[in-house]
A and B are shown apart, each in its own frame.
Chain A
Amino acid sequence: MADKPVTSAAPEQPGKSGLPGAAVTSASGSRQAGRSGGSSFRDRAPFNRLPFIGRQRWHLLTRKDKLVLAVMVGIPLIFDLILIWGSVLVDFFWSLTDWHGFGAMTGGGPSHQFVGLDNYTQLFSGTYPFFWTAVVHNIFWLAFLMFVATPLGILMAVILDSKVKGLVIYRTVFYIPVVLSLALIGIIWQLQYAPDSNRGWIDGVLSWLGYSHPVVFGIDIPFVKDIPLIGQWCRDVSHTDWVGGPLAIIPTVIAASWRHVGYITILYLAGLQAFDPTLREAASIDGANARQTFFKVVFPVMKPINVVIVVITTIEALRAFDLAYITNGGRSPLELLSTLITNNAISESTRIGFGSAIAVVLAVVSLVPIVIFLAMTMREEKQ
């Protein structure tokens, strides 16, 4: 994956290559070629511009240097490989057993048996109903973040990028939730969602709109309660247990969005401020209005950051755990793939084989956005 086929062909004609970075090689045995190629590039091009110029430096290293580098990378790499990637592999092996966590994994015995894909069959066939519910919840989480929170974050970034008075205030307010943990956000939003119009302000406002309770600082405006559907909806929804009801995932993901919007604003604003202002100027000279400028000029040029944002949003949705767990232990009606793993195999029961199968599903699904992200990053690297 790391070594491109380009490199093997390049040393034969180092002087002719238009892209010096691609021409330089680290392929074994070609150190000599690499070095001579390097000196010719040095004469031809601005030295520090070459992306892979490091490849020529290898011959400058002493044996001790190479050893030091090997230790610098090797030790962390071994830990990373064993603990993270090794864990994913172990998950996979466990997922093929019915192990319950007692007794040794090796050596056989009644404590565990190889069951093939039984765990997966059980998951996908719906015998274990929570799995598909969790999948739906994760998808909803993703959809809400992607189509509501992320666009709002982009909108805020665009607004904050234009000259507005009091920028620091808006920015600070939007960024503060980003530094809070999702567990904390879960607690803070429990206060907002308290299922009692006397305690929770959201419930209170809806109840007031539906019944027009004359209690809000003594002000009473009987209006919404008479609107046909909305008034009824307000009456129905007030006094319901927000995070305990069947649709608890909606208030929960709204709480998550409180943080996600600011996160996206930070990332997008960084991209917008790196944006070449002359492009925008050209667009405005051509008579484009703000909306046209954004959708026809800014948005397409921001493609790299758009991809980053889509990837981050997807990963956030797959990682969702803290908020659901602190709200109700991640149990129904807030089950997510992540909470099912923990609850099946650690906190509530010890169905390790079964929990591992869910972990494998989660890992495999997560690898999709990760690989897209890495492929994109690395492709840009090569250019």
Chain B
Amino acid sequence: MSDIAATPGDAATPGDVARTPSEAAARAAKRPVGAAAKRGRIKLSRVGLYAFLITITFVWLMPLLVAIYEALRTNGDVVKNGIFSFPQSLTLDNFTTAWGSTEPSFPQAYLNTAIVTVPAVIVVLLVGSMVAYAVSKYSWRLNLLVLMLFTAGNLLPQQAIILPMYRLYSTHLLPWPFTDNGGNLLYNQYIGIIVIHVIFQLGFVVFVLSNYMKTLGHEIIEAALVDGAGVFRIWAGIVMPLCKPAIAAMATLQFTFIYNDFFWALVLMSTQDKRPITAALNTINGQYYTNYNLLAAAALLAAVPTILVFLALQRYFVRGLSLGATKG
């Protein structure tokens, strides 16, 4: 399972470098006569390749560029001159207007997101790594079944389980100590959103981390057990430090997943002012429907945190996704 170590971040591995010259040499040796023509054709196909790449990259960037372009112009300017025109002036006014006038306002929405995302990511990683550890490092009768139940649970569409969850959240009084709405319902509470995120994301974390843990050597755990260390100490002192790369990747990925969640908070949170940013987009969309420039600014403001995290932690993000897929 050496593929775990493969980070898509570094595309040109030493193997790649060595590959092409030998390839070219092999071809040249085989057909010395056509070599010049071949080189010409290769050059042409190279040009075609770059033309394709640059075009499609531009097309891919277009939606974001348009959003930025709209956000920097005034509504009056675009209405009057159309989108295909040079801007009269560029302004940040749309951002400042959107910042305070959405419901919830952006500072509040970011705060809501932080209140939900930070504890959810921490708890899901802690709990998920424990389950993954117990499932992958010790064998008991049903551990494969448990792993499958967790993984499959995460792959179900959220809507497949929402009706009972909604009912549970909105009608069943629970002896919950952290109420922030005075009642005992999980509905419309940060803690309720955190709980559902943890439960739902757990399957993904368990699946990926257990795959990762299986690649760690077993002797060290065996040795620790023989030396009399308890399973909890082995988890905290040996397995977790060894899993740092995977944990970092999962933390980045889980942050993005939970930040981007639209559905849970939309359905299980009724107070606008308590909704995290992504769920709040639904209201913002309705609110600014008539002013695309404000809408674009608001959308970009909502996108900034994930894009920043991605640019800073691209390696981890990509590794997290590929850990789930390439473990084979």
Contact = CB atoms under 8 A, between A and B. Distances in A.
Interface of A: 1-3, 26-28, 47-48, 50-55, 57-58, 60-62, 64-65, 68-69, 72-73, 76-77, 79-81, 83-88, 90-91, 94, 101, 156, 159-161, 163-165, 167, 169-184, 186-192, 194, 197-201, 204, 208, 215-217, 258, 261, 263, 266-267, 269-271, 273-274, 277, 280-281, 284-285, 287, 304-305, 308-309, 312, 315, 318-319, 321-322, 325-326, 337-339, 341-342, 345-347, 352, 355-356, 359, 362-363, 366-367, 369-371, 373-374, 377-378, 380-381
Given A84-B161, A175-B317, 17 more contacts: A54-B138, A57-B218, A83-B168, A87-B165, A170-B57, A175-B310, A180-B303, A181-B260, A183-B279, A191-B296, A199-B78, A270-B318, A284-B23, A308-B326, A370-B155, A378-B144, A378-B148
B51 interface: no
Contacts of A177: 60
Contact of B152 (A72, A83, A182, A374): A374
Scoring A27, A87, A341 by chain B CB atoms within 10 A of each residue's CB, the highest score goes to A87
Contact of A274 (B3, B26, B84, B131): B3
Nearest to B225: A60
Chain A at the B interface: mostly helix, strand, loop or mixed?
A: helix
A373 to B, nearest CB: 7
A182 B262 contact: yes
25 contacts: A3-B141, A26-B139, A54-B137, A54-B218, A58-B139, A72-B232, A84-B199, A85-B149, A164-B53, A172-B311, A175-B310, A176-B310, A181-B262, A181-B281, A182-B260, A191-B67, A269-B8, A270-B321, A277-B16, A287-B30, A341-B159, A345-B166, A359-B159, A363-B157, A363-B161
A88 B161 contact: yes
Contacts of B328: 304-305, 380
B310 A179 contact: yes
Given A86-B164, A270-B322, A274-B6, A184 B144 contact: no
Contacts of B298: 187
B141 A91 contact: no
Nearest to A64: B230
A217 B86 contact: yes
A292 to B, nearest CB: 13
A54 B219 CA distance: 10
Interface of B: 2-3, 6-8, 11-13, 15-16, 18-20, 22-23, 26-27, 30, 49-50, 52-53, 56-57, 60-64, 66-67, 70, 78-79, 82-86, 127-128, 130-131, 133-146, 148-153, 155-168, 196, 199-200, 202-203, 214, 217-219, 221-222, 225-226, 230-232, 235, 256, 259-263, 266-267, 278-279, 281-282, 284-285, 292, 295-296, 298-299, 302-303, 306-307, 309-311, 314, 317-318, 321-322, 325-326, 328
A356 B325 CA distance: 32
A79 B84 contact: no
